[in-house]
Amino acid sequence: MIAHNFKHALFCAVVTMVVAYPILGLNLVARGTRVGLEGADTTTLIAIFVAAVVVFAFQLYRDTLMAALGKMPKLNPLAHREPMPQAKRVKMESWVLTGIIVLALFWPFFVSRGSVDLATLVLIYVMLALGLNVVVGLAGLLDLGYVAFYAVGAYTFALLSQYMGISFWMALPLGALLAALFGLVLGFPVLRLRGDYLAIVTLGFGEIIRILLNNWTAVTGGPNGIGGIPEPTLFGMEFGRRVKEEGNTSFHETFGIAYSGEHKVIFLYLIALVLAVITALVIRRLMRMPVGRAWEALREDEIAARSLGLSRTAVKLSAFTIGAFFAGFAGTVFASKQGFISPESFVFLESAIILAIVVLGGMGSQLGVVLAAIAVTILPELAREFSDYRMLVFGAAMVLMMVWRPQGLMPMRRAHIELKRQE
């Protein structure tokens, strides 16, 4: 076995050296007006050599290593337990979720401002991932341009507040509805495509929206973005030190407490929490409704679904539109949280991250998606100390995850509708 792998391992090691030397070893140095090329120093050379040896060793023992990795689930004590009966499982899941929500309600009052801010971001990603979960996980449509709908939501709020002075609470439904409308309009031409083709078209759509926002300087401010987006108010009470808008009062004066910047952050967090919970509940309900069943039926077997009188366009469009609607929700909250948005925030990487959350969490599983959203948002923050290697660590974690548990953190267990015996 090892003899068989030897040639392959040697080849991989050589490739490592050939690739690594020009990338890491060669440096461009400015010498006056000219640019010179400098060879690698000794430490880099040694590092490259060590890397090659590591690759060589890994490839040589690859089969053994991967087999060991495959055995890892056995370390998981829950791996081989009997599946719970559905009624019990649903009950437990709803208890766990309620517990998490109650905890999340009180948690921000005891932690630092930075953590609450980060948690708000996590909740925005939870909303996005739950929305994309409808499109990818339930309806089985691979959408790589999901961030476009997020951008539509955010820019709707930003533009409406800039030109028409509309408040957060007005913009929230408008942003979501406009995003849904974009979903509908995009959906019409592309939904006869499937699989890879659909993915490519949605990818293109995402980029078109971003480039449009970037270049339509007269309206969107182009790469400079839009600033001064107002924060949400609580029944006309503002959270700033001074009241900005005529007729509003300020929160701390009304309640006679000292001004604190934290009020605003916590309020925004609570809004995001409520919206995320609403998103989860609505989608949970949709999954058990005829629409949800139609999504899954179409994913399972499109031809059979059509032969039973399900309109492919109507069913796919509904999934696309509802997914976009929640992205619009998330976008509005995001714009309000940041106070400033630019096309920079809506690049393809965002779509990829949201998709990664859905896949990591387990397609179609809500609890899994929530956990994955937390993990994916917080991990890079925790790994901030590694700065340069952040994305590397992130990538490695993803690869390991896919090898070890390809079905996601908590794979979807469908909640069947059960036929009760009426004896």
Partner 1 sequence: MLDVQNLSMRFGGLLAVDQVSLDVQEHEIVSVIGPNGAGKTTVFNCLSGFYKPTGGKIVFEGQEVQGKPDYKISRLGMVRTFQHVRLFNQMSVVENLLVAQHRHLNTNLLSGLIKTPNYREREQKSLDRAAYWLNRVGLLDLANRDAGNLAYGQQRRLEIARCMVTEPKLLMLDEPAAGLNPAETKDLNQLIVSLKEDYHVSVLLIEHDMSLVMDISDRITVINQGRPLASGTPSEVRENDDVIKAYLGEA
The residue whose two tokens read 């000794």 is: 42
Output the CA torsion 76→77→82→83 (10° steps).
Answer: -50
DSSP for residue 419: P
Q: How far is the CB of 102 from partner 1 (least distance, A)?
A: 24
Query: What does the block give as tokens for 166?
Result: 């509309």
Q: How far is the CB of 286 from partner 1 (least distance, A)?
A: 8
Nearer to partner 1, 241 or 414 (CB): 414
Q: How far is the CB of 86 from partner 1 (least distance, A)?
A: 8
Beta bridge partners of 238: 250
Strands 34-38 and 27-31, bridge-based pairing: antiparallel
Nearer to partner 1, 121 or 412 (CB): 412
Nearer to partner 1, 71 or 416 (CB): 416
Q: Which long-range contacts (CB under 8 A, 24 or more apart) does 105-111 make?
A: 105/270, 105/273, 108/265, 108/266, 108/269, 108/270, 109/266
Nearer to partner 1, 218 or 417 (CB): 417
Nearer to partner 1, 158 or 359 (CB): 359
Q: How far is the CB of 88 from partner 1 (least distance, A)?
A: 15
Give the Å distances, CA to CA, from 152 to 108, 213, 256, 300.
Answer: 29, 10, 38, 31
How many C-beta atoms surround the C-beta of residue 415 within 10 A? 14
Nearer to partner 1, 246 or 423 (CB): 423
Crossing angle of helices 147-164/312-338, nearest 10°? 50
Rounded-to-integer distance, Cα 256 and Cα 318, Å: 48
Rounded-to-integer distance, Cα 384 and Cα 137, Å: 31
User: Residue numbers of the site for partner 1 (CB under 8 A)?
Assistant: 282, 285-286, 289-291, 293-294, 296-297, 300-301, 303-312, 414, 416-419
Nearer to partner 1, 4 or 88 (CB): 88
